[in-house]
Structure 1
Amino acid sequence: MNIQIILNETIYTFPAGITLAQVISQLHLPEQGCVFALNEQVIANSRWSQVLLNDGDQISLFQVIAGG
Structure 2
Amino acid sequence: MTMITVWLNNQAIECQSQQSLIELVEQLTLPTLGAAIAINQAIITRSDWSTTVLNHNDQITLFQVIAGG
TM-score where L is the length of structure 2: 0.95
Deviation at 1:56, TM superposition (A): 0.4
Aligned to 1:4: 5
Runs of 4+ aligned residues of structure 1 deviating over 2 Å after TM superposition are none
Q: C-alpha displacement at 1:9, in angstroms?
A: 0.9
Residue of structure 1 equivalent to 2:18: 17
Structure 1 CA distance for aligned equivalents of residues 12 and 68 of structure 2: 32
RMSD: 0.5
1:67 aligned onto 2:61: no
| Secondary structure in structure 1 of the residue aligned to 2:14 | strand
**Unpaired stretches in structure 1, ≥5 consecutive residues:** none
Aligned-pair CA distance for 1:67: 1.1
Give the Cα separation in 2 of the matches to 1:15 and 1:66.
34
Count of matched residue positions in the alignment of Structure 1 and Structure 2:
68
